[in-house]
Amino acid sequence: MRDEAFRAYFERHHASLSRLAFLMTGESEVADDLAADALTEVWRHWDRVNAADDPVAYGHGIVMNLARNWIRRRSRERLLSFDALRRGRDADVPAVLDVRGALRRLPHRRRACVVLRYAFDLPEREVATILGISVGAVKSATSRGAKQLAELLGDDVRIDGWEAAR
């Protein structure tokens, strides 16, 4: 029973967890690893996850914590370079690279709120639960993050639900 329930959770949410990790880190290989690590943690704490009011939010919260830790380690090690952007330039549309680069420049909480609200279309209350902050903090960080993204991207910008003109 436990195995079947976890397998269903895995199949339903693996892609979403990986996409969230990618949007937070900008690295596809890292995203896959973080999603796998998050699912390992979900499995280890399955009884707690399964009993949670929102098991999906529990998994998203694990990914957010793992992504934050990865970003901190990477920053500390000073591995952040422009090589990753240059390598991906051939495969990606320049506008996508601009958004990725701009997302990387946002502070973690703002990036998390913007990604969860606009890329995952999650309600503020669920974002607050995932991040362990108040709904007001989500609103503030999302607003500031969207404004900062718009400033970083330059021209008139519209991304699923927010718009900013300079």
pLDDT 10s digits, 96-131: 557 778 888 999 999 999 989 988 888 999 999 999
Mutual angle of helices 28-44 and 2-25, in 10-degree steps: 150
pTM score above 0.85: no
**Residue 43 carries which side chain, given as an amino acid letter?**
W
* Cα–Cα distance list, 34 to 4, 15, 44, 125, 143 (Å): 22, 12, 15, 24, 27
Domains in the chain, CATH or no CATH each: 1-80 (1.10.1740.10), 83-166 (1.10.10.10)
**C-alpha closest to that of 131 among 119, 117, 113:** 113
Q: What is the pLDDT, as a whole number, of residue 18? A: 95
**Helix, strand, coil % over all residues of the chain, rounded to 5:** 75, 5, 20
Name the least confident of 4-18, 55-69, 146-160: 146-160
Q: What is the pLDDT, as a whole number, of residue 156? A: 47
How far, in Å, CA of 137 to CA of 122, rounded?
15
Mean of per-residue pLDDT scores for the chain: 82
